[in-house]
């Protein structure tokens, strides 16, 4: 069967679609993969996250021989994916299947735009769907597949979780029959395009803008945060182990294959939600094998509750050069709201102090914080700022808009309080945006993203009466200028990153 997979993700790595491509090829199918990174500003409303209309006439010829088209999406990419789905369903006869996080959270809604939806982990169900359609059979009994049949909709329960992740093939990075929407047109993938687009991501941990390889060493997360889809996904599989790990040998084999195929790789990005939650004996084996057989610098994620001196030491010895830690809030009230009350500020600060003690071997640690939270009071925001003033130096704060993803506990709370509307597509009404007004607390967060000023200055700026003074209406006109600054920084970062990469490669920066 001739299958085309379409990815709207801004990151070219997209491990999910690359594994699906490999799985389909292993089962004898011909696969074309199309990457159309949908870049958008962090505060751009979902309805505005669309592709240029002239992309349609370039896309459809690439799909003309397809027997099945698959699309993967998160809620962030819903509007653009719906747009592309309309082009596909009106332009070619091949059936369209959607999978990924948003179709799993809202399958009925997604069936308005696709012929089939796969709920949960999709590898086995997609293969079975392709085989049944190739034989002109009836797909209505395939586990995890929802779809149209006549004038009605059929549904099926999810498949049991795969317990042995080593059985899956590695993500496919072969450039053959891959296309990238780049500079306004589709181009056949080349090593140069691959290298450039793998280099423009993860800028805070990749200051040299060099190509990194993203890998997942497991699936799932040890935490159950109320804003995150992990607790929703795990609830689909009651009584099953949601957090699963690949073997060290399997991980190293993938990395060896990647380095051999892409000799330009500069580092590895381990993107598990908390790589440090692996058992100490696993990390000891990984560190020894990685140092011996891979040897590239690597970057990973951690959390305050999984970081330890022993794990950090062995990973640094293997080549760990940077760490990103999910802090999210330093307000006790907000931590309870997020289901993270076990991550007390004392525990967070101890983890930060541990990273600071190793600043001679690690790069600047990156700490994630969520802002624009409609549930927070000004006192909650000030408590976080007060704790920020105590963070050991150096550090970098990575600030994230709160995302109210459908199905999460926080989304349901937002519905109850009228923060998001109850009517309309989930793919559009999930998005929360602080009104365009001046926020003194957010301004201070941005000023102290990196510690250019001493902590006592921040403590002075949050002491009375300054927060009360800057909340007066006289300062609200600054909100429009402030909103413009917030909305422009991602696009500016991308443009500078691409320019620096091209200058380094001897190409015009354009």
H helices of 215-358, where?
A: 230-235, 248-261, 280-293, 309-318, 332-337, 345-357
Q: How many helices and strands in the chain, by DSSP H and E?
A: 20, 17
The pLDDT of residue 442 is 85
The answer to whether the beta carbons of residues 290 and 252 sit under 8 Å apart is: yes
The tens place of each residue's pLDDT in the chain, 510 residues long, gives: 999 999 999 889 999 999 999 999 999 999 999 999 987 655 556 666 789 999 999 999 999 999 999 999 999 899 999 999 999 999 999 999 999 999 999 999 999 999 999 999 999 999 999 999 999 999 999 999 999 998 899 999 999 999 999 999 999 999 999 999 998 999 999 999 999 888 865 444 444 568 899 999 999 998 989 999 998 999 999 999 999 999 999 999 999 999 999 999 999 999 998 899 999 999 999 999 999 999 999 999 999 999 999 999 999 999 999 999 999 999 999 999 999 999 999 999 999 999 999 999 998 899 999 988 889 999 999 999 999 999 999 999 998 888 888 889 999 999 999 888 888 888 777 666 665 566 888 889 988 998 888 999 999 999 988 888 877 767 666 665 665 655 555 555 555 555 554 555 555 444
The pLDDT of residue 469 is 80
Residue 509 makes CB contacts below 8 A (sequence gap 6+) with 498, 499, 502, 503
Task: Name the residue ranges covered by the structural domains of the chain.
Answer: 2-165, 205-328
Model pLDDT for residues 306-357, shown as the tens digit of each residue: 999 999 999 999 999 999 999 999 999 999 999 999 999 999 999 999 999 9
H helices of 319-377, where?
A: 332-337, 345-357
The pLDDT of residue 203 is 44
Q: How far is residue 413 CA from its own chain's centroid?
A: 23
The pLDDT of residue 281 is 97
Give exposure, 429-444, as e/b (b: 16+ Cβ within 10 Å). Answer: bbbbebeeebbbbbeb
Please state the CATH superfamily assignment of the domain spanning residues 205-328 in this structure.
Answer: Aldolase class I (3.20.20.70)
Model pLDDT for residues 124-177, shown as the tens digit of each residue: 999 999 999 999 999 999 999 999 998 899 999 999 999 999 999 999 999 999
The pLDDT of residue 509 is 43
Model pLDDT for residues 62-88, shown as the tens digit of each residue: 999 999 999 999 998 999 999 999 999
Q: Do domains 2-165 and 205-328 have the same CATH topology?
A: no
User: Under DSSP, is residue 109 helix (H, G, I), strand (E, B) or coil?
Assistant: helix
The torsion region of residue 55 among left (phi > 0), alpha (psi -120 to 50) and beta comes to: alpha
Determine the topology of domain 2-165 in CATH. Rossmann fold (3.40.50)
**Separation of alpha carbons 481 and 235, rounded Å:** 43
**Separation of alpha carbons 140 and 454, rounded Å:** 63
- H/E stretch holding 6: strand 2-7
pTM score above 0.95:
no
**Separation of alpha carbons 315 and 300, rounded Å:** 10
The pLDDT of residue 190 is 95
The pLDDT of residue 510 is 44
User: Under DSSP, is residue 447 helix (H, G, I), strand (E, B) or coil?
Assistant: helix
269, β-bridge pairs: 214, 299
């Amino acid at each position: 069967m001739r299958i085309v997979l379409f990815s709207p993700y801004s990151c070219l790595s997209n491990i999910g679609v690359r594994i699906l491509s490999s799985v389909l090829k292993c089962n004898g199918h011909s696969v074309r993969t199309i990457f159309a990174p949908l870049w958008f500003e962090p505060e751009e409303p979902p309805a505005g996250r669309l592709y240029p209309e002239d992309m349609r006439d370039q896309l459809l010829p690439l799909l003309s021989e397809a027997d099945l088209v698959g699309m993967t999406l998160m809620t962030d990419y819903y509007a653009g994916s719906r747009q592309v789905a309309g082009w596909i369903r009106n332009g070619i006869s091949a059936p369209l299947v959607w999978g990924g996080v948003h179709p799993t959270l809202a399958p009925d809604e997604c069936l308005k735009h696709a012929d089939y939806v796969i709920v949960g982990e999709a590898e086995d169900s997609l293969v079975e769907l392709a085989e049944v359609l190739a034989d002109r059979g009836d797909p209505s009994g395939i586990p995890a597949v929802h779809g149209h049949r006549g004038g009605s909709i059929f549904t099926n329960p999810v498949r049991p979780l795969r317990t042995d992740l080593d059985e899956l093939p590695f993500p496919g990075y072969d450039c053959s029959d891959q296309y990238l929407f780049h500079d306004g047109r589709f181009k056949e993938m080349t090593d140069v395009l691959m290298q450039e687009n793998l280099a423009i991501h993860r800028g805070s941990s990749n200051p040299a803008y060099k190509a990194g390889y993203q890998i997942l060493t497991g699936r799932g997360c040890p935490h159950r945060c109320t804003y995150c889809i992990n607790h929703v996904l795990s609830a689909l599989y009651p009584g099953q182990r949601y957090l699963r790990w690949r073997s060290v040998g399997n991980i190293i084999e993938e990395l060896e294959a990647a380095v051999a195929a892409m000799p330009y790789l500069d580092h590895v990005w381990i993107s598990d939600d908390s790589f440090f939650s692996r058992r100490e004996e696993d990390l000891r084996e990984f560190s020894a094998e990685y140092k011996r057989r891979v040897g590239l610098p690597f970057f990973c994620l951690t959390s305050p509750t999984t970081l330890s001196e022993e794990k950090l030491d062995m990973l640094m010895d293997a080549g760990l050069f940077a760490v990103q830690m999910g802090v999210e809030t330093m307000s006790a009230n907000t931590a309870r709201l997020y289901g993270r009350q076990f991550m007390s500020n004392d525990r967070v600060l101890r983890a930060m102090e541990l990273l600071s003690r190793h600043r001679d071997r690690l790069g600047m640690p990156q700490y994630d914080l969520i802002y624009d939270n409609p549930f927070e009071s000004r006192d909650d925001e000030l408590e976080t700022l007060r704790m920020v003033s105590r963070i050991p130096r150096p550090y970098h704060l990575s600030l994230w808009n709160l995302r109210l993803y459908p199905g999460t506990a926080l989304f349901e709370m937002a519905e109850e309080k009228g923060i998001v509307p109850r009517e309309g597509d989930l793919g559009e009404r999930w998005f929360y945006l602080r009104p365009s007004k001046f926020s003194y607390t957010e301004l201070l967060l941005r000023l102290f993203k990196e510690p250019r000023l001493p902590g006592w200055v921040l403590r002075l700026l949050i002491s009375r009466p300054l927060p009360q003074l800057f909340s007066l209406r006289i300062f609200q006109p600054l909100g429009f200028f402030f909103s413009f600054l917030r909305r422009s920084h991602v696009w500016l970062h991308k443009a500078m990153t691409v320019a620096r990469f091209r200058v380094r490669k001897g190409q015009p920066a354009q």
